[in-house]
A and B are shown apart, each in its own frame.
Chain A
Amino acid sequence: MLIKESDYNILITEEQGALLANLITEALIKLDSEHVTLVHRILKEPNKPYFGEEKSTLKVLKNNGFLIDSDFDELAYLKLRFFVARYGNEALGLSILPTLRCNFRCVYCYEDHLNIDMEETVRKRLLRFVDRELPGKREFDVSWFGGEPLLRLDLIEDLSSQFLRLCDKYAVEYKAQITTNGYLLTPSTAKNLAELGVHAAQVTLDGPPEAHDSRRILANGKGTFSQIMDNILASADLFEFRIRVNIDRATAPFAGQLLDFLEPVKEKIILGFYPVSPTPRATGSGIKCLSMSSFADVHREILQEVHERGFRLVKGFALTATVYCGAYQLNTHIVDPRGDLFKCVEDVGHGEDRVGYLTDQGTIEFDYKRMLPWAVWDPFQDPECRKCEVLPVCMGGCLRLLGRPSEERCFLKQTIKERIRFAFHGAA
């Protein structure tokens, strides 16, 4: 059988030697300087006769997916994985917004802070929907979102209890997480949530106190860093905190200083750094965003510090993905307090952009015109994606970024080498 080089090998040159990764199998090999040349030669000419150590090296490359059978179609395999994840029927995923209200007025926020909470009729529709959908599923994933979801802790508690009961009834695994600004996440609330199956909380800290308090403020204008940090330190044992750090041009130089504050809990938290990005939904904030390439430079520096100090990073988009975003999945929905369904969080509260709604019978009435692009867009039809070596990680990226220049749309590609290094928690 003839063999060929995988299209998804990434070679990262280091000060001494190199790292070789395969983005489908997630194999990672460290090469000393002598092996760099040898491995390069074998990858380019894998069907030549090799003996001794060279033969052993070829075997390692083959066993780890760097070399593959010449008739194996990697693109077709990725396509299968993508469509299984997209149309698979084994899991149900809901992002639920109990309220659109928020106690914060973050300067970059794209939401409108409408005074809308989930009414009893919608609560009943949602429960009927879950009751109809769960039979036959293996997993039910819930993400509490908002608005600030903890403003309606009572609803979260009520719905969580019902979800746990239904999962028990239908023998479905239940997993829940919450995205909260963290201000109301007191130790007693955290304990309640943990007991109701919430295993992770995403909380945002936009850098050290001065930076954070210039971006994430209460409705009365006061800063929030101190209260959030107290809450994280007090409840770090209860569930996994995913600390999101949004970075813009002004806060970029200070973002790394946040690590000093998180040092006491660094083994219990996971960090993720993201660029503040422009959207038509948010205007007039005065925030200057970094270009994707500038963010990539900032990100590289921060990741180095994160690595050196022994913090952990969000694994998401580090290596192989099945779909880029849950929005592409048929069984994943965002449910707003009115029972409207959306694909992208940027649209919540904007009824005119809903892709469907929950009926009194607990079924979905889709607006197919709005839903179809999310349900059928196919990166495997995109000429750029088809030839991209980072496709197994990106899987086509965000639908909202289609049509933008590749330096904006393909930001995962720009940081792939750092992502590979840190995906292995410092193993490299």
Chain B
Amino acid sequence: MTILAKGRAYDIAEAKMACMPADCNGNGVMPCAER
């Protein structure tokens, strides 16, 4: 058994600063006309 990544502590500090630009850069939605 190998720990590849240790679990992070529960913490909401990061959420306080999580102001993401709302330009859809990451969510995978780039529209087009038809399926």
Within 8 A of B (CB), among A242-264: 242, 244, 246, 248
Q: Is the interface of B mostly helix, strand, loop or mixed?
A: loop
**Residues of A with C-beta under 8 A to B2:** 29-30
Contact A93 B26, beta carbon cutoff 8 Å: no
Interface string of B18-35 (1 = CB under 8 A from A): 111111111111111111
B10 touches A277 (CB 8 A): no
> Do the beta carbons of A274 and B28 come within 8 Å of each other?
yes
A265-B20 Cα distance, complex, nearest whole Å: 26
CB nearest neighbor in A for B26: A316
Return chain B residues, CB-CB under 8 Å to A246.
30
Residues of B within 8 A of A70 (CB): none
Interface pair A277/B29, CB less than 8 Å apart: yes
Measured in the bound complex, the distance between the Cα atoms of B15 and A77 in whole Å is: 12
- Whether B26 contacts A317 by the Cβ 8 Å rule is yes
Interface size class of B (residues with CB under 8 A): 20 to 34
| Cβ distance B26 to chain A, nearest Cβ, rounded Å | 3
The answer to whether A95 touches B23 (Cβ under 8 A) is yes
Contact A35 B24 (CB under 8 A): no
Contact of A427 among B5, B10, B25 (CB under 8 A): B5
Give the complex CA separation of A401 and B29 in angstroms: 10
Does residue A108 face the partner (Cβ distance < 8 Å to B)?
yes
Interfacial chain A residues near B10, Cβ < 8 Å: 24-25, 65, 77
Are the C-beta atoms of B22 and A325 separated by less than 8 Å? yes
4 shortest interchain CB distances as A-B pairs: A279-B31, A25-B7, A143-B21, A27-B7
Besides A66-B7, A276-B30, A327-B22, 19 new A-B residue pairs in contact (Cβ under 8 A), listed by A number:
A25-B9, A27-B7, A31-B1, A60-B3, A84-B16, A88-B16, A88-B17, A88-B19, A139-B19, A143-B23, A179-B25, A278-B34, A281-B31, A289-B35, A316-B26, A325-B27, A326-B20, A332-B22, A343-B22
Mark A residues whose CB is within 8 Å of B: 19, 22, 24-32, 35, 39, 57, 60, 63-66, 77, 80-82, 84-85, 88, 90-95, 107-108, 110, 138-139, 141-143, 145, 177, 179, 202, 242, 244, 246, 248, 272, 274-279, 281-289, 291, 314, 316-317, 322-327, 329, 331-334, 343-346, 398, 400-401, 411, 424, 427-428
